[in-house]
Structure 1
Amino acid sequence: MTECIVAELTRYITQMCMNAVTSDGELSSHYPLTGSSLAVTTLGWTYHYSNKTMNWTEARLYCQSNYTDMVVIQSQIENDYLVSYLPERQGSPYYWIGITKNHKNETWTWIGNNSTWVGNESWAENEPNNNHSTEFCVEIYIKKGKNRGKWNDEKCSHGKRPVCYKGIFHWFSESNTKLFTALMSNGVSSSSVVQCNSLEAPPHASVECQDPLEVYSYGSICTVQCEEGFDLIGANMTQCSSQGSWSHTLPVCQAKKCNPINPPPHGSLSCSDPHGSFSFGSHCMTTCDEGFLLNGTANAECTSLGMWNIPHCLAKRCPTLNSPPHGSFSCYDPHGEFSFGSRCTSTCEEGFVLNGTANTDCTSVGKWSRDVPRCLAKRCPTLNSPPHGSSSCSDPHVEFSFGSRCTSACEEGFVLSGMADTECTSVGTWSTETPHCLAKKCPSLNSPPHGSSSCSDPHGEFRFGSRCTSACEEGFVLNGTADTECTSVGTWSTETPRCLAKKCPTLNPLAHGTFLCSDPHGDCGFECNEGFWLRGTPTMTCSNSGHWSQDLPTCQPGLIAISVLSSGTGSLKELTLATFKNDFEQLESLLKIA
């Protein structure tokens, strides 16, 4: 939506008879400007702008579609006149105007008439600077300060508000522009200008006039602006016509209305209205009920924007509640979070139990009725290390509580029976039973033949720490180590010994005979070769003490030569005797006979 910022800028063209105006549009110095020598012709156009920002190309299309074209400024007076009517902008006080070029080396040229007019004071300080190398469009600055009404080169792609014109004819010729400037600069004789009545500003308003000829004269345009907080009722602009009358009566400035207000919840209201009920400047005093505090000042005011700056009665606030560790709370807040009347209920996460009262209330004095309870981890029964083992635990909360994890290990020589890891669950029980440490088992140990074993078993039969001692029966001796122990790796420290029968001295070979012995006691039988007879016992026994029962027998030859001293002759006589074996008594009898 556009606004017409100037209803009509009247151009006064005084045409001279008899070469009063030169061909280039400048006034001749030979003819004075008198009423009798001037004929006044009124020509004009209107300026328009848009509140919407757009790039330069879009801005020109907007002007051509809705009006004649983008504005073309041809004098400093026209520039100043335009600046006086364009509204100031705090955030973006820039407007596109119709001067441009296509290359940095080209001359700035106005659209439509291709004029290259640029005033001595048109550009802002240090402009144009072509800062981005492509600043080929121009913006005009509309804001108070030293750069008001100055130009700045800018990139055409940026967004600015367009300024357009709508004219009766295409005024922008060089000769007409010079003529307009000369007339406006030198003035016109008062005898030729129609006067209008002076204007007095309405209450709560100000009047600003543009007088191209004289104050309150033909062509003067006056604009009315209301004070802040007042709305303008009527036309904001009036123009002095050729008949000496203003085109419009001055408007009225009416205080802006605010919506009627009611007392705030939990409060009451009393108001004063200097410009009418619930209008700009109205003040209302608010008071709050018990248990509620005023949010803001007690005095509410109808602002210049027609809006109330209304205080509120807020329930007194209690300190912000934080959820307990491993817990949460839910609150009922009838008057706002953590404020009077709020009730908060705490609950704990799984595996935790509430230590304290679940509910607390925000009281009328802004304090909680109770402290926030704590959430304590559920406890499991105390865990003892297994015999011959140990336990190590991690306790994220407290010892032997929800989340605690314990690992059991056994001493050397023991193995774990059960699960090594157990955890304290959310219901306060251990996830597994405590394991046991059992002594490592060695292979069963048998007594050696002809022997026996006796064991001490501190941790169970044939288990780690068992110690066994072997012994042999009478007549046998131990072959090996008597004692053996079940080690931590489940093996015996030594092999099981053997019981060997005790040995008698080794028998030498029997001359002229043989012998045969039986195990294990070494019973031996003796026998002589033919022609020999056994002298001694034919059997021998190796006793338990390792001694032979008798001496070793011998084999004697069977032919016995007996020398007989013949009486009287003294000669030897050989006798052949029968061979006796194992019959010493017979042999002895024979010898006696002989």
Structure 2
Amino acid sequence: MAICLKVSWYWRFQRAVFRVTQLLCFSAVISELMNQKEVAGWTYHYSPKLYSWNISRLFCQKFHTDLVAIQNKKEIAHLNDVIPYYHAHYWIGIRKINNTWTWVGTKKTLTKEAENWADNEPNNKRNNQDCVEIYIKSPVAPGKWNDEPCQKKKRALCYKASCKEMSCSKQGECIETIGNHTCSCYPGFYGPECEYVRECGAFNLFPQHTLMNCSHPLGNFSFNSQCSFHCAEGYEMNGPSKLECLASGNWTNKPPQCIVIQCPPLKTPERGSMTCLNSAKEFQHRSSCNFSCEEGFALVGTEEVQCTASGGWTAPVPVCKVVQCQPLEAPSKGTMDCVHPLAAFAYGSSCKFECSPGYRVRGLDTLYCSGPGQWTAPLPACEVIMCDPLESPVHGSMDCSPSSRGFQYSTNCSFYCAEGFMLRGAETAQCSDLGRWTMPAPICQALQCPALLAPQKVQMKCSHPFGAFRYQSSCSFTCEEDLLLVGASVLQCLTTGNWSALLPECLANTCTPLLSPPNGTMTCVQPLGNSSYKSTCQFFCDEGFSLSGPESLDCMPSGHWTGSPPTCEAIRCPVLFAPEQGSLDCSGTHGEFSVGSTCHFSCNKGLKLNGSKNVECTVSGRWTAPPPTCKGIKSAPTPQRQCPALITPQQGTMSCRHHLGNFGLNTTCNFGCQTGFTLTGDSSLRCRPSGQWTAITPRCRAVKCSELHIIKPLAMNCSNPWGNFSYGSTCTFYCLEGQILNGSARAACQEHGYWSTIMPTCQAGPLTIQEALAYFGGAVASTTGLVMGGTLLALLRKRFRQKDDGKSPLNPQSHLGTYGVFTNAAFDPSP
């Protein structure tokens, strides 16, 4: 019943087929119960209903195996016996496919031997008679076949096969027989079900050095097994390279043999040796031989050869050839004698060299060609006999003759020393025939000056470039702060072996002598001497005069006073003016409105003087009485135009005469400047009727001194209260390290526009001999002298005139003043 349901489901897409299938299922059940004829193994079946050929086959495939496939006449007879007669006959499983009758179950073509056509069949009416029926129990042609159209309806004659998928183990053909099947085994297989495969067996004696690769599709070393062979490197095959296991259970051939590869024998090269690894007699694959040559012979070819897998050596056998050295030639001015035991300039050759008279061999006189093909030394040369080069002595020179020959045999050299140095050693030397100098080269030694000892209170510092107190030794000297160095501050050892000057001394420093100011007096305290360091001078003015400048001055360690000397200026009273409608007349011995001046007042005609007629300027700077006035004016004066009030210029004075009141018409004002200043503008102004002054108010400007220009190593530092290089400016000078200041260290711009001293200079060395003589030799050339430490120091006016010829940028004056003291610091020509 399950089968029927499945068939019904399969044909649900075709309604007509579905109905037929239901009938088939029903008929099949009945047939199974009533009409089935069974034979052991292979059984035959038929349908109770009529179907077309296609539906009949579906019926057989669904319930049995397929439409019956008749294999022989015996089977036809069996069917004719067991299958009942039916007038419409039965379909069998043969059909024309591609115009060929074919068993559809086995897909085999119908053979002539198996044909069982009825007489005159198949008739091939060409009307789709592609299907075949069998006549069962037909009285005319029982068991015979006839071709019919496939659409006709007949009973389906089915078979149920005993051959299954695994019948004959898939290694043979399953042949159905009546009630059974047999297996026809394919070649290489045997057994009832072809279940066994023929075996060739493994190889008993496997050859050495042989490599095998096998494939076993049906079992190890069985039918269809294949084995390929090849030899290891260095071996060659003798026999077939491939074997196969046949269906008979035998291999196609015997296994091959691998024979070792041999290379040709080698010979030891002449004058050489051969060393081989592995078997030197057989020269098998991978055998290697090394070659070497005797000393003096070189290997031409490969040093090592190997036997390759192809049976050949990697290179030919090398040979040993004698080593060749570079051919030699006789040097210039020489000869060469050679011996060649093997070949010219080859290993073992020797060459001896000799030079012409006056020359010697430079290098080895005999050379040998050695094993590496090199001469034992470079090719020698014949050179003229030479002495070692000489050099000029340090701080000296050398003169050789003949100069074109260098330092050859018979060359003479003379030696000289520079100024300040003395030759120590032979003055001449000659190159001998042995290539040696007759005397060693001399040296130049600096001249020796006498050793110096620092005097008392003098500090000495020396440098000795060529030895203690020798040529160019330099010694500098300094004193304590309150002492003055008298003499040269630096001494130098000269080329004569003498010092450039005598030793200096440290004495008390002096300043320029001072004088009492005019109209005044001076009192000094001088503990170390006149105008010396630590001296103090105080200044006083006579009655009627006041001091302008410092009240006292001190002499500093530098030899300069602490300031410029003061002056005594007349004391002035306030400026007086003529009263209105009056006049003023003054007189004085020290200037207008100064102490002792007297002024007389008077009024114009018709007016009366109210106050003192005469007044006098007292030492207190006041008038004895206030200025009087003129009264009794009959009528008031017409107002006059006034000029703007004037202001006294800085560092200046102003004196005005007022005729019509303060700064009225015709008022005249006179202007002046203090010491050290000059007036710029009109010195007198008058008030015009227009109310304007005749000029602008003048100004007082500081007197200018010449501009100072310094040259290194001199340095300068200035203070300028009234402008650069103006009155009151002071400049200090100093030298850079290692230099000595020669001259005054300080200069001041004075009221007359001159500097107080000339500009100093910086010097690196001591004074010259001529300067030292000018300082320390000769007669006294000045009216004022100073004896210090027993040495007379003259003030030489002539020398200072030479140093200051009136062209100095500091002081254009040609005179030097009356007083002066020579020092190493300054000379101040101011009074």
**With CA pairs under 8 Å and 6+ residues apart, which has the higher RCO, 1 or 2?**
1
Shorter-normalised TM range: under 0.3
